[in-house]
Amino acid sequence: MPAIEFTIEKKIEGALGRAGALKTPHGEVRTPAFVPVGTLAAVKSVTPEELQALGAQMVLANTYHLYLQPGDETVAKAGGLSEFMGWNGPTMTDSGGFQVFSLGFGKGKKGVTKVLRDAATAHENDTATEHTKLVKIDDEGATFTSHIDGTTHRFTPERSIAIQEHIGADIIFAFDECTSPFLPHDSMKASLERTHRWARESLQAKRRSDQALFGIVQGGRYADLREASARFIGGMDFDGFGIGGSFDKNDMTSIVALVNGILPENKPRHMLGIGEVEDMFEGIERGIDLFDCVLPTRLGRNGTILTAQGKYDICKKEHAESFAPIEEGCGCYACAHWTKAYLHHLFKAKELLGYRLATIHNLYFIVHVVDAIRQSILDGTFFEYKKRFLETYLR
């Protein structure tokens, strides 16, 4: 018996998108679906009961972080991820590849694009950066320095799979190399060959039959490399597929359509690290079934509220005496009980409840937008719904 079962219920006419059902050992996920990120076996500031109440179906935890703290063996002794965090629904873990790659990134005020361009330049010139001082990647794996205590550790495909089997999520990912999208073609090709080697080794290392293993398609922004990766990974005995986010956002829609036109139609596809509403519409249209991203929770903690009319900053003075709900017509716990004025006050006073309420609202919003997209597929009205929603959301 496979660890998961995926059924397609209805397709979008003239596109690759579909509505489906993904059965896991801890329950069923109706797809497409947004998966909240619980990095350290916790979605920041939100309890499992609150996650369930706002409609979340699955949670993704982070292999790299749980390995370092509290340790994957501790999670195993607790009975696995679901038991450890008190979440009785389906779970996923990433491979740790992205976190190892990104050590030392996101610091300072350069911005993500500048950091990624600098990383690509340093790679080509073989020069040291803050990143290369923290992680060294070779054909067998990655040696890295813990961001917690400076100790040295090493991930290989075998080690990543063993850690994920300890953590015990329903769906785990093959170890891959996530690179800067600005690497030149030859360097990206060499990285892709390494990812493909690690994919084979991840499959060989897997021991547990109650976990599904997803292979990851890489190749950056290069269509020929993405096509080659989709054919290689799609031809292997994975239970599903992840699409790695190492591409320029302007190339995303064409890359996703290319990849999903090649991958086996009868297996689920997960897009890693994508959380903008407009990107999810485009991804779903092109055959993506699952998304995960920290964006809704991170925005909430920083006071950015997601609504059907677009985003707004709750900290702005104009909300100080607005006694309307956080979003009119929203069914979330926060909107049912409190106003913009109260949430504005909480943020200004740096009260922790403010971060919790904003996070609950943003997660509810994202989860229910994707649920509504799913229903529009079932109803045969996807394109009408997409046009109507985005006209208001992006205005």
For the chain, domains (ranges, CATH) are 33-293 (3.20.20.105), 301-393 (no CATH)
CA distance 349 to 28: 41
pTM: 0.93
CA distances from 365 to 54, 202, 306, 339, 359 (A): 9, 36, 7, 16, 10
The 3-state secondary structure of 322-338, one letter per residue? CCCECCCCCCCHHHHHC
Q: Is 292 a catalytic residue?
A: yes
**The pLDDT of residue 22:** 98
Separation CA 150–CA 232 (nearest Å):
37
Which H or E element spans position 112?
A: helix 112-125
Tens-binned pLDDT, residue by residue, of the chain (395 aa): 789 999 999 999 999 999 999 999 999 999 999 999 999 999 999 999 999 999 999 999 999 999 999 999 999 999 999 999 999 999 999 998 888 877 755 444 454 445 455 555 555 555 455 545 788 899 999 999 998 999 999 999 999 999 999 999 999 999 999 888 888 999 999 999 999 999 999 999 999 999 999 999 999 999 999 999 999 999 999 999 999 876 667 778 899 999 999 999 999 999 999 999 999 999 999 999 999 999 999 999 999 999 999 999 999 999 999 999 999 999 999 999 999 999 999 999 999 999 999 999 999 999 999 999 999 999 999 999 999 999 999 98
State the pLDDT at residue 111. Answer: 47
Quote the CA–CA distance of 93 and 81 in Å, as a whole number. 9
Catalytic residue among 139, 237, 292, 371: 292
Indicate the length of the chain as a whole number. 395
Distance CA 65, CA 380 (A): 41
Q: What is the pLDDT of residue 178?
A: 86
Element (H, E) at 377: helix 352-379
Q: Which of 94, 118, 239, 289 is catalytic?
A: 94
Based on the residue annotation, tell me whether 210 is a catalytic residue of this protein. no
